[in-house]
């Protein structure tokens, strides 16, 4: 997969179906067909099928916020990657810090989720990021490096080529405190260098790395101008059509 420009909106646990459809309708009219290809919408599970129909005829992509580590079977409440693919998803988040934090998701589980998603033909957006404490004690590169390597080492090169990375410092998520362009660029460059050193030039050069954490209509342009930032994973600001559109056009 070649390096791409992407703005993904992670709606998290927000909106009703009616509100979700209204937002999609607004976005379809505000975002020109020439840039729709860069957009991924990541709504709650129950809206995916309907929104997929609403988006037919548009180039906007759909993604899911999580998937099961299992292919199918007696796993009440879980959603398989194959089911997501069947309702029109092409992307899935794995390892979001809210899943790691609130649901105690750890590397072995994340590896299985990644493999299931890739087997079903989904593109995985693998999320990593350090806590405030880790940033303050200067261990952010060590922490992010370990998060990445523990999963990348368990995959083969074909699988690695299907990954997109998202750097989301936990201290910047939903706090209004964004990483500065320098902080974000520095971590993105570190991630690309880590991939280059361990898995070679081609995977590193083709890797798409998104920034997430209080990215908004005001700061997106400066962040996206950084050489190793290929777009954004947007939370709060993806819930408003005008703001999200401005972010898409900042890329």
| Contact window for ligand 13P (CB under 6 A) among 45-53, 150-158, 181-189, 210-218 | 210-218
Which is the catalytic residue, given 96, 98, 105, 134?
96
Alpha-carbon gap, residue 157 to 229, rounded angstroms: 22
Angle between helices 17-30 and 241-248 (to 10 degrees): 40
Q: How far is the CB of 172 from ligand 13P (least distance, A)?
A: 6
For ligand 13P, the binding residue among 114, 214, 219, 245 (CB under 6 A) is 214
Q: How far is the CB of 68 from ligand 13P (least distance, A)?
A: 19
Cβ(214)–Cβ(172) under 8 Å? Answer: yes
167 — phi, psi (to 5°)?
A: -95, 115
* Tokens 């590193």, located at residue: 204
Residue 70 among the catalytic residues: no
Residue 22 among the catalytic residues: no
- 10 binds ligand 13P, rule: CB under 6 A: yes
- 236 binds ligand 13P, rule: CB under 6 A: yes
Q: How far is the CB of 109 from ligand 13P (least distance, A)?
A: 18
Alpha-carbon gap, residue 22 to 11, rounded angstroms: 14
* Tokens 């593109």, located at residue: 123
Which is the catalytic residue, given 105, 130, 168, 188?
168
Give me the half-sphere count of Cα atoms (radius 13 Å) on the Cβ side of residue 11: 25
For ligand 13P, the binding residue among 27, 51, 94, 233 (CB under 6 A) is 233
List the catalytic residues.
Answer: 96, 168
């Amino acid at each position: 997969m070649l390096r791409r420009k992407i703005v993904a909106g992670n709606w998290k646990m927000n909106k009703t179906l009616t509100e979700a459809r209204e937002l999609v309708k607004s976005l379809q009219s505000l975002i020109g067909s020439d840039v729709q290809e860069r957009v991924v919408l990541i709504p709650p599970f129950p809206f995916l099928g309907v929104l997929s129909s609403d988006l037919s005829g548009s180039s906007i992509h759909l993604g899911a916020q999580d998937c099961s580590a299992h292919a199918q079977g007696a796993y009440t409440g879980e959603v398989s990657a194959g089911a997501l693919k069947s309702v029109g998803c092409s992307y899935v988040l794995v390892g979001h810090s809210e899943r790691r934090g609130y649901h105690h998701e750890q590397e072995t589980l994340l590896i299985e989720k990644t493999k299931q998603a890739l087997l079903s033909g989904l593109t995985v957006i693998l999320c990593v990021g350090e806590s405030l404490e880790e940033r303050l004690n200067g261990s952010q590169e060590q922490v992010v490096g370990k998060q990445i390597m523990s999963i990348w080492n368990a995959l083969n090169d074909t699988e690695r080529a299907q990954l997109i990375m998202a750097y989301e410092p936990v201290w910047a998520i939903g706090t209004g405190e964004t990483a500065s362009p320098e902080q974000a660029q520095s971590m993105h460059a570190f991630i690309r260098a880590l991939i280059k050193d361990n898995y070679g030039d081609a995977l590193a050069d083709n890797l798409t790395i998104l920034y997430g954490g209080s990215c908004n209509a005001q700061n997106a342009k400066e962040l996206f101008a950084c050489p190793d930032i290929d777009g954004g994973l947007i939370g709060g600001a993806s819930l408003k059509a005008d703001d999200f559109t401005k972010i898409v056009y900042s890329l």
